[in-house]
Copies of this chain bind each other. A is one copy, B any other.
């Protein structure tokens, strides 16, 4: 994309005024949900619903047509059907609206007739000089500007540092919910839809240049412009971690993708091999994607792949070790000095000093836990410490002390905290604000840890520090 295009997109994502063409007062319609989303998102600019007859929708004054609005919107959300959307885009051009999000389906994904409509839509946007997002998209969001330009009415507070590009709105919603659930809210949320005009490479280029985005995650079904995506991504990965999930492992499900956003899906293995080669972090599920995004957006990158594990009980560390080893991590022996240091701390209690270290014999108090954690983290054989804990009403988890430890040493610490779904919130907040990714399952902890190590490997391949 040109500098001009990037600027235009930036303006669309940071608008002063947004028009909703096809706004309606019927609460089960998309044209209603779009207005509601803008309001719920917390947008502080002008919200301008367009409808020939309505007076007011959700307390917002309605305008009969685009030329009747008091200000020129920077962005229009078109919530009309696949035919009317084409006219609406032309109208955007006539009244100087620079960008449009088209939500309608019924284009390339439904076959030949739809493809022809899509060609006309795209042509209309080109001639009218309108930046076209979609069609067949849930829309876009920018938490930085509190812009929720979708038909998914959610609040955009708080905002985080991970941005996402998703070919599927529904999968984008899964990612959004999962990020919320994991305490790493998104910064920008882009539904690319059918990519009639703006494609993955354009949005990726934008997010790479976006100072509020630290980590990028992408869900891809397939694209005909894979080459130019890879060109942008291979350079981009050296600036920021890019985490990619490609759908369609199985032949049969690749066929489904074709009738979804009209994309040729391409071989799962081929995509992943190429992505890996260029230093992208490929993932195979949404939970893996979010676990990686969490680690890469919070923790420092380790110098190597050797993981030290501290646990209050052995079983969970066996499950975790299995997963870490599968992912190419090493679980080294501690060095002599560390062993000596530990055996002092256990003062004569019978215990096998090994990695993973079972701390149960030292009692369950926070002080001895931190002290053992420090011994492991300081061991020169250890590049990452994974600290396991189990929620217990009579025990305190030393979150703050671990935060100080990771800061002092500059080594990543990953927490695997076993708890009921409603517990651990306080400890998580302290950890994650302090640069420690906090997970509640062994799988997440292993994916997070492995993603840090994979990032190191990629950085080494570029000769980076």
Q: Is there an interface contact between A260 and B315, defined as CB atoms closer than 8 Å?
A: yes
How far is it, in angstroms, between the C-alpha of A312 and the C-alpha of B326 when the chains are bound? 36
Give a binary string over A365-395; 1 marks a CB under 8 Å from any B CB, 0 the rest: 1000000000000000000000000111111
- A152: chain B residues within 8 A (beta carbon): 392
Q: Which residue of B lies closest to A317 (CB)?
A: B256
| Nearest CB in chain B: distance from A442 CB, A | 7
A443 CB-CB contact with B under 8 Å: yes
Our pick among B166, B180, B318, B442 for the contact of A420 (Cβ within 8 Å) is B180
Q: Is there an interface contact between A253 and B321, defined as CB atoms closer than 8 Å?
A: yes
Q: What are 10 sample pairs from A and B whose C-beta atoms fall under 8 A apart?
A: A36-B394, A105-B361, A110-B351, A111-B350, A170-B313, A170-B390, A174-B315, A181-B420, A250-B326, A259-B352
Our pick among B167, B311, B322 for the contact of A248 (Cβ within 8 Å) is B322
A434 CB-CB contact with B under 8 Å: no
- Seen from chain A, the residues whose Cβ lies within 8 Å of a Cβ on chain B are 27-28, 32-33, 36, 82, 105-106, 109-111, 113-114, 152-153, 166-174, 177, 180-181, 219, 221, 247-250, 252-253, 256-257, 259-261, 285-287, 311-319, 321-322, 325-326, 331, 349-352, 354, 356, 358, 360-361, 363-365, 390-395, 418-421, 441-443
A170 with B110, Cβ < 8 A, contacts A285-B443, A321-B256 known = no
A221 with B318, Cβ < 8 A, contacts A170-B312, A363-B28, A441-B287 known = yes
- A311: chain B residues within 8 A (beta carbon): 170
How far is it, in angstroms, between the C-alpha of A356 and the C-alpha of B170 when the chains are bound? 14
How far is it, in angstroms, between the C-alpha of A105 and the C-alpha of B352 when the chains are bound? 12
Q: Is there an interface contact between B321 and A250, defined as CB atoms closer than 8 Å?
A: yes
Our pick among B221, B250, B314, B421 for the contact of A260 (Cβ within 8 Å) is B314
Our pick among B219, B331, B354 for the contact of A315 (Cβ within 8 Å) is B219
How far is it, in angstroms, between the C-alpha of A352 and the C-alpha of B390 when the chains are bound? 49
Q: Which residue of B lies closest to A221 (CB)?
A: B318
Q: Is there an interface contact between B174 and A256, defined as CB atoms closer than 8 Å?
A: no
How far is it, in angstroms, between the C-alpha of A177 and the C-alpha of B442 when the chains are bound? 13
How far is it, in angstroms, between the C-alpha of A390 and the C-alpha of B33 when the chains are bound? 14
How far is it, in angstroms, between the C-alpha of A252 and the C-alpha of B105 when the chains are bound? 52
Q: Which residue of B lies closest to A284 (CB)?
A: B322
Among A27, A105, A170, A181, which residue has the most Cβ atoms of chain B within 10 A? Answer: A170
Q: Is there an interface contact between B286 and A441, defined as CB atoms closer than 8 Å?
A: yes
How far is it, in angstroms, between the C-alpha of A393 and the C-alpha of B36 when the chains are bound? 10
Q: Is there an interface contact between A114 and B350, defined as CB atoms closer than 8 Å?
A: yes
Q: Is there an interface contact between A316 and B259, defined as CB atoms closer than 8 Å?
A: no
Q: Which residue of B lies closest to A312 (CB)?
A: B170
- A256: chain B residues within 8 A (beta carbon): 314, 317-318, 321, 354, 356
| Nearest CB in chain B: distance from A249 CB, A | 5
Q: Is there an interface contact between B286 and A33, defined as CB atoms closer than 8 Å?
A: no
Pairs of residues from A and B, 10 with the lowest C-beta to C-beta distance, nearest first: A168-B315, A170-B313, A260-B314, A171-B315, A253-B321, A250-B325, A181-B421, A170-B315, A110-B350, A259-B352
Known: A27-B394, A169-B315, A249-B322. 6 other contacts (CB 8 A): A111-B352, A169-B313, A173-B390, A174-B319, A253-B318, A286-B442
- A219: chain B residues within 8 A (beta carbon): 315
Q: Is there an interface contact between A315 and B420, defined as CB atoms closer than 8 Å?
A: no
Q: Is there an interface contact between B252 and A321, defined as CB atoms closer than 8 Å?
A: yes
Q: Which residue of B lies closest to A250 (CB)?
A: B325
How far is it, in angstroms, between the C-alpha of A221 and the C-alpha of B319 when the chains are bound? 10
Q: Which residue of B lies closest to A26 (CB)?
A: B394
Q: Is there an interface contact between A252 and B331, defined as CB atoms closer than 8 Å?
A: yes
How far is it, in angstroms, between the C-alpha of A110 and the C-alpha of B171 when the chains are bound? 48
| Nearest CB in chain B: distance from A33 CB, A | 6
| Nearest CB in chain B: distance from A271 CB, A | 14
| Nearest CB in chain B: distance from A107 CB, A | 9
Q: Is there an interface contact between B260 and A319, defined as CB atoms closer than 8 Å?
A: no
How far is it, in angstroms, between the C-alpha of A260 and the C-alpha of B352 when the chains are bound? 9
How far is it, in angstroms, between the C-alpha of A153 and the C-alpha of B390 when the chains are bound? 12
- A326: chain B residues within 8 A (beta carbon): 249-250
How far is it, in angstroms, between the C-alpha of A331 and the C-alpha of B390 when the chains are bound? 40
Q: Is there an interface contact between A418 and B318, defined as CB atoms closer than 8 Å?
A: no
Q: Is there an interface contact between A318 and B248, defined as CB atoms closer than 8 Å?
A: yes
